[in-house]
């Protein structure tokens, strides 16, 4: 019972508070006018932001459109380009009269390995790819292939012909 | 809902919105005015959209509550301190009109002091129910809590306000009349 009376009193006090607040409420038009004045520059900045975003989007779209076309141009160019250049490979077959050790020394791959081994150690940077002409995989040859070859190997891999093996004997006795 | 309809609805609930904004801004009229302006801009520019799931008043009150919380947070960042409820109340009471005898009564000051001592959630629930005549379900919706939580805040807030009212001597009519007499005696 007592609680109900107190609750009633609380409600009455809230009601009085509300009446007091309503007397001090600024007019709707004034608040709305102030709100519109505040919204003006913000709206402008919003429009500028939207325009900038649109510009960026259009720029990105144009970039995406142009990029594949440039790639396709490159492909077309490559198709019409001359055949792939063959890289010179070391001739490891020892020429007659030249020792094998010398022919090995001349091999550029071996030279590169030697350079690599003798170079002082340092932090390696990711090297930019050299723009060497492409080579067919069927023509590729291992740079260390020469190590498997032995002198006189051709004698084992080829069949001698009879005419080549015959010793030409000149008759000592003249006819 | 188009802009003219929104504007009509805002005008309809303007007084109540101001009262709620005042409550959310620790009864600081300058902040309440600023919050209300921000809310009107949000609503009219479509930043806050009424989806029709709840009553317009409930939705508008939840927007005001969120905006006031943002406003308070921003102010706190700027000033690194919060203006207390009573401090702000004392500061702005200097500008009060001497003709508003009821509003400026001692009872109202005591009552506002009692409200200020309540936790924020309890104060908000009581304000929505007693001041704005919302149901507990609507109050829960405005506050973004479950109806069970709102009921708990309501019960606890009412109990605490009863105690505070008894402490401050504003709980019953006899004490009230004595206060009012004291206030009117020069």
Q: What is the pLDDT of residues B114-147, one digit of tens each?
A: 888 899 899 999 989 999 889 999 999 999 999 9
pLDDT tens, residue by residue, B97-107: 555 555 557 77
Interior/surface letters B104-122, b for 16+ CB within 10 angstroms, e for the rest: bbbbbbbbbebbbebeebb
pLDDT tens, residue by residue, A61-90: 888 888 765 555 555 455 555 555 454 555
Chain B residue whose CA is closest to A39: B41
Residues A144 and A111 sit within 8 Å (Cβ to Cβ) = no
pLDDT of residue B174 exceeding 50, the answer is: no
Residue B79 is predicted with a pLDDT of 67
Alpha carbon separation from B34 to A17, B47, B75, B116 (Å, rounded):
21, 17, 12, 21
Alpha carbon separation from A142 to A100, A108, A148, B97 (Å, rounded):
18, 12, 11, 101
What CATH number was assigned to the domain covering residues B1-84?
Answer: 1.10.1740
Write down the residue that tokens 């009107």 correspond to. Answer: B40
Give the largest CA-CA distance in chain A: 162
pLDDT of residue A36 exceeding 90, the answer is: no
Is the pTM higher than 0.80? no
Check CB contact of B174 with chain A, cutoff 8 Å. Answer: no
Looking at per-residue pLDDT, the higher value among A73 and A132 belongs to: A132
Residues of A in contact with B41 (CB under 8 A): 35-36, 38-39, 42
Alpha-carbon torsion (A132, A136, A139, A142), positive or negative: positive
pLDDT tens, residue by residue, B153-164: 999 998 898 888
Mean pLDDT of B7-13: 89
pLDDT of residue A56 exceeding 90, the answer is: yes
Contacting B with CB below 8 Å, chain A residues are 3, 5-7, 9-11, 13-26, 28, 31-32, 34-36, 38-39, 42-43
pLDDT tens, residue by residue, A164-175: 665 666 666 665
Contacts of residue A55, Cβ cutoff 8 Å, sequence gap at least 6: none
Q: What is the DSSP letter of B127?
A: I
- Interchain proximity B14–A38, CB inside 8 Å: no
Cα(A82)–Cα(A103) distance, integer angstroms: 32
State the Cα angle at B133 between B129 and B135, rounded to 5°. Answer: 60
Residue B110 is predicted with a pLDDT of 84
- Interchain proximity A9–B33, CB inside 8 Å: no
Residue A126 is predicted with a pLDDT of 57
Q: Inter-axis angle of helices A2-24 and B14-24, to 10 degrees?
A: 110
**CATH second-level architecture of B94-186?**
Orthogonal Bundle (1.10)
Residue A55 is predicted with a pLDDT of 92
Residues B8 and B41 sit within 8 Å (Cβ to Cβ) = no
Q: What is the DSSP letter of A141?
A: -
How high is the ipTM of this complex? 0.72
Q: Across the interface, which of A14, A16, A38 has its CB nearest the CB of B41?
A: A38
B27 Ramachandran zone, left/alpha/beta (phi>0; psi -120 to 50): left
B79/chain A closest Cα distance in angstroms = 22
Residues of A in contact with B29 (CB under 8 A): 24
Q: What is the DSSP letter of B130?
A: I
From first CA to last CA, the distance across chain B in angstroms is: 55
Mean residue pLDDT of chain B comes to 79
Cα(B49)–Cα(B51) distance, integer angstroms: 6
- Interchain proximity A31–B165, CB inside 8 Å: no
- Interchain proximity A17–B111, CB inside 8 Å: yes
Q: Where in chain B is the domain with CATH 1.10.10.10?
A: 94-186
Q: Where in chain B is the domain with CATH 1.10.1740?
A: 1-84
DSSP letters along B73-122, please? HHHHHHHSSPPPHHHHHHHHHTT--TT-TTTTSHHHHHHHHHHHTS-HHH
Mean pLDDT of B33-45: 89
Check CB contact of B102 with chain A, cutoff 8 Å. Answer: yes
């Amino acid at each position: 019972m007592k609680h109900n009376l107190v609750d009633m009193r609380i409600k009455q006090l809230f009601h009085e508070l509300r009446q007091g607040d309503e007397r001090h409420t600024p007019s709707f038009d004034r608040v709305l006018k102030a709100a519109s004045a505040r919204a003006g520059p913000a709206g402008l900045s919003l429009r500028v932001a939207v325009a900038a975003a649109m510009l960026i989007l259009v720029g990105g779209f144009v970039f995406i459109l142009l990029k594949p076309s440039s790639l396709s141009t490159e492909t077309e160019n490559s198709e019409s380009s001359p055949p792939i250049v063959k890289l010179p490979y070391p001739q490891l077959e020892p020429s007659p009269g030249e020792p094998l050790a010398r022919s090995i020394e001349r091999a550029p791959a071996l030279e590169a390995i030697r350079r690599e081994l003798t170079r002082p150690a340092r932090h390696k940077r990711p090297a930019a790819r050299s723009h060497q002409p492409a080579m067919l995989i069927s023509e590729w040859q291992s740079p260390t292939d020469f190590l498997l070859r032995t002198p006189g190997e051709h004698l084992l891999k080829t069949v001698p012909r009879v005419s080549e093996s015959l010793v030409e004997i000149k008759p000592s006795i003249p006819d | 809902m188009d802009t003219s309809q929104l504007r009509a609805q805002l005008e309809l609930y303007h007084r109540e919105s101001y009262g709620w904004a005042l409550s959310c801004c620790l009864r600081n009229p300058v902040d309440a005015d600023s919050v209300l302006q921000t809310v009107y801009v949000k609503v009219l520019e479509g930043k806050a959209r009424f989806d029709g799931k709840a009553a317009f008043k409930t939705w508008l009150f939840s927007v005001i509550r969120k905006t006031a919380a943002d406003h308070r947070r921003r102010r706190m960042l700027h000033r690194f301190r919060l203006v207390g409820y009573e401090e702000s109340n004392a500061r702005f009471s200097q500008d009060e009109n001497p003709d508003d005898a009821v509003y400026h009564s001692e009872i109202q000051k005591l009552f506002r002091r009692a409200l200020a001592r309540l936790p924020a959630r309890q104060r908000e629930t009581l304000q929505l129910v007693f001041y704005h005549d919302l149901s507990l379900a609507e109050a829960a919706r405005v506050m973004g809590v479950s109806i069970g939580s709102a009921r708990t805040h309501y019960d606890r807030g009412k109990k605490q306000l009863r105690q505070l009212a008894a402490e401050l001597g504003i709980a019953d009519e006899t004490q009230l009349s004595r206060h009012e007499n004291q206030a009117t005696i020069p």
